[in-house]
Structure 1
């Protein structure tokens, strides 16, 4: 049991787990911002264009069962905005990352043999 707890502690304190926890918290806050953006800005604009004040009220009935198409439309718009925002954020991060110079190519067999011959001639 003691070994199990030590292994769990080593796992929980690893940088990747802590990074993931921070990402989840920031992602939740970012999700709230995007939800507000969609709910309070985008959907009213789309609603004004289509003369429907609230998309969640859009529905139709099939055999007496209401199909809430407005809620689905709102969820799709929310997803597209979140996906686009994450895409833009990742592109910006990649652009600002310092690119490491590529490692020089490995010497060919001929170069290795010539280097070896050169070193042998130097030593004589």
Structure 2
């Protein structure tokens, strides 16, 4: 079982790092990586997405504003360099909250949490 994922981060370096982590994980399938929420939303109207790796501070539309505009919300793993958004992130039912730079063991723990939750929902 693989979760369909998208990565949304305005930093091209961070996007590449996260995309590589997703591509190297046996239980994740990368649908696409996007520099802004508008592109991601367009992709999500076409593809079924189970999990979003989402930056919070982005130009034009923040990660939170992006989520406010979604009718169907997949699981969210927030990825940001700032800890002050953690409490608000969990108001959005975040599956997890990763701080940059991302440690591989912490990334894997987040993915395990998302997979476990996905399996529970399917029961």
TM-score (norm 1): 0.28
Bigger proportion of residues as helix: 1
Query: 1 or 2, which has the higher strand percentage?
Result: 2
- Name the TM-score, length of structure 2 as normaliser: 0.28
Q: Relative contact order (alpha carbons < 8 A, sep ≥ 6): 1 or 2 greater?
A: 2
